Amino acid sequence: MDKDFASRRRRELIVAAVLALLAALAPLFVKDVYVQNIMVLTLMYAALSQSWNILSGYCGQISLGHALYFGLGAYTTALMFMKFGILPWFGMLSGGVLSALIAMALGYPCFRLRGHYFVIATIVIAEIALLLFQNWDWAGAALGIDIPIRRDSWLTFQFTRSKLPYFYFALVLAAIAWFVTWWLEDSKWGYWWRAVKDNPEAAESLGVVVFNSKMGAAAVSAFLTAIGGSFYAQFVSYIDPESVMGFQFSLLMALPAVLGGIGTLWGPLLGAVILIPLTELTRSYIGGSGRGVDLIVYGSLIVAISLARPQGLVSLFSRAKKVPAR
């Protein structure tokens, strides 16, 4: 009856598996630590953007405050390890659960807001959290936290000698975020989210509980984002409020998805692969005197994309799907 659909789904899985395999082999050829560093960041942002895409792309609730969950993940992991000696793996999980709970607590009032007002609320809340952390002495206030360095081990998830363990973790994270999205796409939730985004009133009339759908999307999205934050804390081993909860993270999570194709399965990955290396390269080549040039490049790209391909770059790959003339 719908063989096309089933085979498309299978093809997506195969493509993803091949890509993951190729990525896993990449370190055999790339020995340069600087390039490895860029690869880690690219995969991390692919995972983050994929998580962001669940709430903002599929469910249509544009958040520019995801830095909050990223920071919460980073702080939970770092604080639990430093203060209580709890291994980062548990910290990671706790950070994820905590973020999901906070996302739902914040969603309760915020999901009553629509459009721009919702976006503004997300920005403001993340900024408030940033201020709180900057003044919270127990959590290191504005000075931040130096994560105590132990021996290199998967147990403490610390590696001072090689970037490769981080690379593989980031790869797994990106793969999980992709897979979760893939799985949700063909589930009740996936359909509900797209319906909510497209026309909430019609969705309600078809038995979709709009509010619950948004809450579900927020929880999954925040959980995955926090895992990314925990990873980042381990990766850089020093965090302060500005470096994990600053507004730029919220942007860096949104932009790859927007560039690649918002609300699409491949958009965040494609966007991250283009955007993150570009940012890192412009930053290091133009560097010091040219501070902010990377942002100019960013801005131009986004403007160009939104004018030429509002549906994002993945739309270039889809078989000449007709675009409604508006």
**Would you tell me which residues interact with another protein (CB under 8 A)?**
1-2, 4-5, 186-188, 191-192, 194-195, 197-199, 201-210, 321-322, 324
Residue of 85, 45, 74 whose CA lies nearest to 232: 74
- Closest contact distance (angstroms) between CB of 179 and another protein is 16
Q: What are phi and psi of 43, to 5 degrees?
A: -65, -40
Q: Distance (Å, rounded) from C-alpha 45 to C-alpha 66?
A: 12
- Closest contact distance (angstroms) between CB of 54 and another protein is 17
Q: Which is nearer to another protein, 228 or 268 (CB)?
A: 268
Q: Which is nearer to another protein, 146 or 186 (CB)?
A: 186
- Closest contact distance (angstroms) between CB of 182 and another protein is 13
Q: Which is nearer to another protein, 204 or 242 (CB)?
A: 204
Q: Which is nearer to another protein, 161 or 321 (CB)?
A: 321
* Longest CA span, the chain: 62
- Closest contact distance (angstroms) between CB of 204 and another protein is 4
**Ramachandran class of 39: left when φ > 0, alpha when ψ lies in -120 to 50, beta otherwise:** alpha
Q: Which is nearer to another protein, 6 or 15 (CB)?
A: 6
Q: In this structure, are residues 240 and 125 in contact, taking their beta carbons and an 8 Å threshold?
A: no
Angle value at C-alpha 262, between 2 and 131, nearest 5 degrees: 140
Distance of CA 318 to the CA centre of its chain: 24
- Closest contact distance (angstroms) between CB of 60 and another protein is 10
